[in-house]
Amino acid sequence: MASRGPSLYNEVMKSTDPMYEGDSFVRNVPEGEDVVFVSINYRTNLFGNIYLKDLEGYTDEYASAVNLHLLDQIQALKWISENIEGFGGDPGNVTVCGQSCGGMAISYMLAKGQDATQYFQKAIIESGAPQVAGCTLEKKQEEAQMIFDLFGVKTLDEFLALSDTDIKDNGLDQYFENLQGLGLIYADGEIIPTDWWDRIRDGSAKGVKVMIGCMSGENDWAAYDWESEEGDLWEDPEAVWENYIAAKSSDAGTDYAAEVPYYINPVKKDGTPAIDWDAFLATDEDPVKAAVDLYNDVIYVQGTEYEAEALSGYTDTYAYFWTYCPAAEDIAGYCEANGMEPEISPYDRPQHSMGMLFGLGNTDDGYNELSGDPAKLPADLQPMMMSAYYHFAKAGDPNNELIPEWTVYDAADRSTMVMGETWSLEKDPRQAQRELLNVRPNGEK
């Protein structure tokens, strides 16, 4: 039985990936209803956000290269706005939907305001709060030079002369091995505003209704020692701190991300905890699991909550926390029978990507390494999430006859739909962890 390792996709994600396909969603809209589903491709990683400015041969022609991924998406939304009527769609009722880096991109678009939000009215964001995606300018400069060195080029002309085959065969694996496939985001001040988080807090997304959530076990693979022969579980929570939490902050820039604007950072400049570490470890009987929870919170969960809080001051915001996970033995058995490597949380929790599988209706063949045998999944769960997606996309409100009443989120009661095999609306379900972490971007209150 194996779990998800810390590597990421080794190629540009395509909208033809079965996890993100829209045909199941379209086929299963409520009787008498209709929807137009558009999926887009955009450049990521090496192709979508390389910082070229300090490299030999740079001209202003390449100034946008640092954040092409976001420009690609905005251009696609502009095309949809101008052309969707020809496909039966309504340019005045567009919902953007993104998970992980796609959710982060939506968050940046919300910060840009009318430059981007003129093309959509609603947004579904899963595991996409970007408070730990950023990095310093120096880190982007180091990354660019590393790319040049990996591909054996010295000038921009030599780099641009590389063919797709050259890139794929001669350096792409090393790129992902060295950079973990991250291509960290730099707020350049033009495409991504340097004050993006302040803009969201000040109402840049006003008028765009938002459904936002994350998984309870986002990166539970951090509980494993991937250097050991069997991928054993860590026995010491300090290992999670050193190998993931502190390492993540260090990767973003000097002095443990001290210079990265709006970074949720539990690490002091000297590498020690900026929070009550012992108290956080005491939130679970298993201190390693508590340390993994801190990592999940830093990467996705706490940022999702902060973003929901900020957005709720200006627009209808619906928050969720996905907790359902198939039985580990069902995932492992299905994967063994189908020649797949299972991706299983040691704590029987849903990891990164699970919720959107159900929301788009792709549990049959979207990511079975994560969800296992589709025949053994709860029959009602996928229709519930799909109906929430559909009704939110239609009217900006996920409520429908298949789910419990879902009220909007606000900072007073933090009403959150907890999505297990059954759903329940709970107030502040992560209160203990949220209050102990409480490392808000730039020290805001």
Residue 81 lies in a domain: yes
Q: What is the CATH classification number for the domain harbouring 49?
A: 3.40.50.1820
**Residue 261 in domain:** no
Segments forming the whole domain that contains residue 314: 23-219+306-419
Place of tokens 């060195």: 149
Q: What is the C-alpha separation between 28 and 20, in angstroms, rounded?
A: 15
In a domain, 340, yes or no: yes
Q: How far is Cα 64 from Cα 336, in angstroms, rounded to an integer?
A: 45
Helix or strand holding residue 278 (H, E) = helix 277-281
| Cα 319 versus chain centre, distance | 15
Q: Taking Cα atoms as reference points, which of 136, 170, 154 lies closest to residue 255?
A: 136
Burial of 234 (0-12, 13-18, 19+ CB in 10 A): buried
pLDDT at 105: 95
In the DSSP assignment, the letter for residue 209 is: E
Flag whether 160 is in a domain: yes
Helix-helix angle 68-83:101-112, to 10 degrees: 70
In a domain, 391, yes or no: yes
Phi, psi (deg, nearest 5) at residue 432: -60, -50
Q: How far apart are CA 390 and CA 382, in angstroms?
A: 12
CA distance 166 to 160: 11
> Does some domain include residue 360?
yes
Task: Read off the pTM.
Answer: 0.93
Tens-digit pLDDT profile for residues 159-204: 989 888 888 777 777 776 666 545 678 999 999 999 999 999 999 9
Total structural domains in the chain? 1
Average per-residue pLDDT for the chain: 90
Tens-digit pLDDT profile for residues 89-125? 999 999 999 999 899 999 999 999 999 999 999 999 9
**438 occurs within a structural domain:** no
Question: Is the residue at 103 inside a domain?
Answer: yes
- Per-residue pLDDT tens for 308-346? 999 999 999 999 999 999 999 999 999 999 999 999 999
The Cα–Cα gap between 242 and 162 comes to 38
Q: How many CB atoms lie within 10 A of CB 157?
A: 10
User: Where do the H-state alpha helices sit in 282-363?
Assistant: 287-296, 302-312, 328-337, 354-359
Tokens encoding 301: 């969960």
d(CA 302, CA 438): 8
Instruction: Give the CA radius of gyration of the chain.
Output: 21
Per-residue pLDDT tens over the stretch 47-84: 888 899 988 999 999 999 999 999 999 999 999 999 99
